[in-house]
Amino acid sequence: MALQIRKLIVAAVVLAAPSPLVAQAPAPLRLSFADAVRQVAAQTPPPAVQIAGFRADAAAARVRQARSGLLPSLSLSGSWANRNFNSKAQGISFPGVPTIIGPFNAYDGRVRLTQTLFDFANLGRVSAAKSQSSAAGADRSAVLETSAQAVALAYVRASRAQAVLTAREADSALAAELVGLAVAQQQAGVSASIDVTRARTQLAEAAGALIVATNQVERAKIDLARTLGLDPTTAITLTDTLNAQMGAADVPADRTAAMAQAAGARPDLAAEVARGAAARTSASAISAERLPRLEVEADYGLSGVRAPDAIGTRQVAVQVTLPILDGFRREGRLAEQRAVVRESDVRVRDLRQQVSADVDGALLDLRSARAQQMIAAERLQLAAEEVSQARARFKAGVAGNIEVINAQVSLLRARDADIDARFAAVSARIALARSVGTARTLH
């Protein structure tokens, strides 16, 4: 029996220990909670953040595209042609003029400059592109917030798994100690053999729980690596534990102040407001297409039938364009943009309500988690005292080890409740930071 006990302990310790393959790998990445959150906005952020950045860059490029319609356009052209033409087809029917003129060479080289002086529709399109660029920037910030929250939660889940592993190791150590005590009591003749059997059953159960906890730690670290955009095989060492300081952020405790901060800092709300502004500006730009457009054009070049004989010619022109009717296409586009504006208004209104719900829910969860922490801490202390007293009674021979087993189970549950309460508190702090748009300040 003693040999079986040693086998169980050895198996649990071997499975809980780092793999030899990991020991041969490069040094693990030491990562704190604050470092993990900062990694989201680092030089190599997660893929989702990179993609959002590319979209913001594309939106900024569209602003330059829209602005190009208001800037000068300069071009160079050159041509050579060998041709003839029918003079009568050109309305030339004078005596002595041949019907077919040519063939002859024609050379032409020209510089052309055009400039739009007034185009209110293009001005509106530039403003709309700027609003869309602002929305894309806010979308990137929203992705940063979401990624920061995801990384923070992944780190906390890994810390929770590490805390559970530590608790299971303590459970295994206690179970092994109680087996030794039961065997000693049996050899002293003050305990029945069933007490030894019960103790060994608890040790086997603790060894199995230790194996499961070890696996959960490794799985949680893989998930954390993926959330950070790292290779899943990256070895990570967590330098922070599940404590009362984890998940702190610059968030006011007062609900009114938190709501005011959320209204100004939530990037998803800012992005939707910017999209609504872009839709309104686009509608105004479409309406401005009915207004006159004024352009000036100038060109200068050399032309002639032989290159050495080319002479300079020029042209300066002012053009006014007044759109009248385009088959009601403009009206259709305007109706589409107005529908987009109404949709954006609904989204903004719904987002404001969602912000309020997020803040209220996070504050409720935080208050509940704090109360749970107080109760769990007291429960853990009482459970430890219960184990100590039950072990003393069993050692004195005034009670069987069934009391010790029950106390051990109570201690196991108390440890899990304490871990769950600490996890709930940190998760609530992370949710509160996300609800007011400051998840990137978590530390």
Least confident of 109-123, 302-316, 339-353, 390-404: 390-404
The answer to whether residues 131 and 324 touch, using CB atoms and an 8 Å cutoff, is: no
Number of helices and strands in the chain (H, E): 10, 6
Instruction: Please state the domain extents for the chain.
Output: 2-71+120-290+329-441
Select 2-71+120-290+329-441's CATH number: 1.10.940.10, 3.40.190.100, 1.20.1600.10, 3.40.50.2300.
1.20.1600.10
Residue among 66, 131, 165 nearest 272 (CA):
131
pLDDT tens, position by position, 82-136: 988 888 888 888 887 888 888 888 899 999 999 998 888 888 889 989 898 998 9
Q: How confident is the model at residue 318, as a pLDDT?
A: 94
**What does the mean pLDDT of the chain come to?**
87
Q: What is the C-alpha to C-alpha distance for residues 151 and 41, in angstroms, rounded to an integer?
A: 11
pLDDT tens, position by position, 134-171: 989 988 888 888 899 999 999 999 999 999 999 999 99
Question: Global pTM?
Answer: 0.80
Q: What is the C-alpha to C-alpha distance for residues 371 and 428, in angstroms, rounded to an integer?
A: 13
Q: How confident is the model at residue 429, as a pLDDT?
A: 92
Which single residue is written with the structure tokens 């069987």?
400
Residue among 73, 65, 71 nearest 125 (CA):
65
Integer angstrom CA distances of residue 85 from 80, 82, 89, 92: 16, 11, 8, 11
Alpha helices in 228-308 (DSSP H): 255-265, 267-288
